[in-house]
Amino acid sequence: MSQINCTTESRKGKQLTERDRYQIEILLREKMSPMEISKRLGRHRRTIEREIPRGMVRLLRSDLTYKEEYCADVGQNEYLNNAQNKGPGLKIGHDHKLAKHIEERIIKDKYSPDAVIGEIKVKELKFETSICTKTLYNYIDNGIFANITNKDLPVKKDKKKGTYKKVKVTPKNLKGTSIEERPENIDNREEYGHWEMDCVVGKQGGSGAVLLVLSERKTREEIICKMPDKTEQSVKLELDMLEKRYGKEFSKIFQSITTDNGPEFLDFKALEKSIFKDDHRRTTIYYAHPYSSWERGTNENSNKLIRRFIPKGTDIGKISEAEIKRIEYWMNNYPRKIFGYKSANDMAS
């Protein structure tokens, strides 16, 4: 494999993992040179050249002669023995129960490392050892876990959160109520019953189905509905169904809904009108400024959580209602750092 065709990113400064050593053993049996192996694994050539002697063993052939061969187990044991003399051992030590719990939460349940550690503290889960979020990230970076890499993490970035300011831009929907008219108690998340609404779209050229996502600003409660298309009629129908479900309580639970200026939300009169009384307004629709997604930050963060299960390019029409409700349940029970790792359901109770 030439340098041009090598697509493996270099992992400079990282220790070889046990998985790496098994790969080295296999590639050496395939008669690959240290240079070829280094390109395949994204390691420096000298790292591979130093590793091979570490795991060499003498094997007796059937003709009673000897041959030398690299053994991954020997190389790993040698590395661990040498590591004992380098200072304190790993804090997680031999706490296999904790390691298994972390792997299940991150891989199976799609938790972030911070959510895993936060949940352990809040629920007072008992393990032999305890580690902090920073230590867990370091372990993942260094390949300590056999089944977790940074590819398993939903988001990993060092960039600081941006600072946003309100902008004075005339909304596209001139007839609707601007977010500038939204009361301060809604802005400050002081009261339950104020939601943000958005659509999560699927694969272009697919079935056309989308998800209607409602996010409650105070508790981060989520409601996800599957719609056949991204139209005003479909949005109105879903709100009508929610009003039927909650009945007279709808106006208390959905006091206001903030949306963007998408064409599916522009008919504010239809969205606000109750299905029970023609002259009754069931909720108030507020419109954010164009190109100001941070004004619906709760919605945007919720959409990122949904994308852990439904990546961009997925045909939403092929996602079952049961799966959508499972995602909704997961989001409402996900530990949130902003709430001291309590979930939306915890905050609502």
177-348: CATH, from 3.40.50.1470, 3.30.70.270, 3.30.70.980, 3.30.420.10: 3.30.420.10
Of 288, 292, 258, 308, give the one whose Cα is nearest residue 162: 292
Q: What is the spatial distance between Cα 217 and Cα 42, in angstroms, rounded to a whole number?
A: 45
Residue 25 confidence (pLDDT) above 50: yes
β-strand pairing of 56-60 with 66-70: antiparallel
Q: What is the spatial distance between Cα 105 and Cα 210, in angstroms, rounded to a whole number?
A: 28
Confidence of residue 262 (pLDDT cuts 50, 70, 90): very high
Residue in the structure block whose two tokens are 């206001």: 256
Considering the chain, what percentage of its residues have pLDDT values greater than 70? 89
pTM for the complete prediction? Answer: 0.68
The answer to whether residues 109 and 333 touch, using CB atoms and an 8 Å cutoff, is: no
Q: For the chain, how big is the Rg over CA atoms in Å?
A: 27
The answer to whether residues 137 and 131 touch, using CB atoms and an 8 Å cutoff, is: no
Predicted confidence (pLDDT) per residue in 85-131, tens digit: 555 567 787 888 999 999 999 999 999 999 999 999 999 999 999 99
Of 277, 303, 283, give the one whose Cα is nearest residue 242: 283
Of 65, 89, 331, 61, give the one whose Cα is nearest residue 211: 331
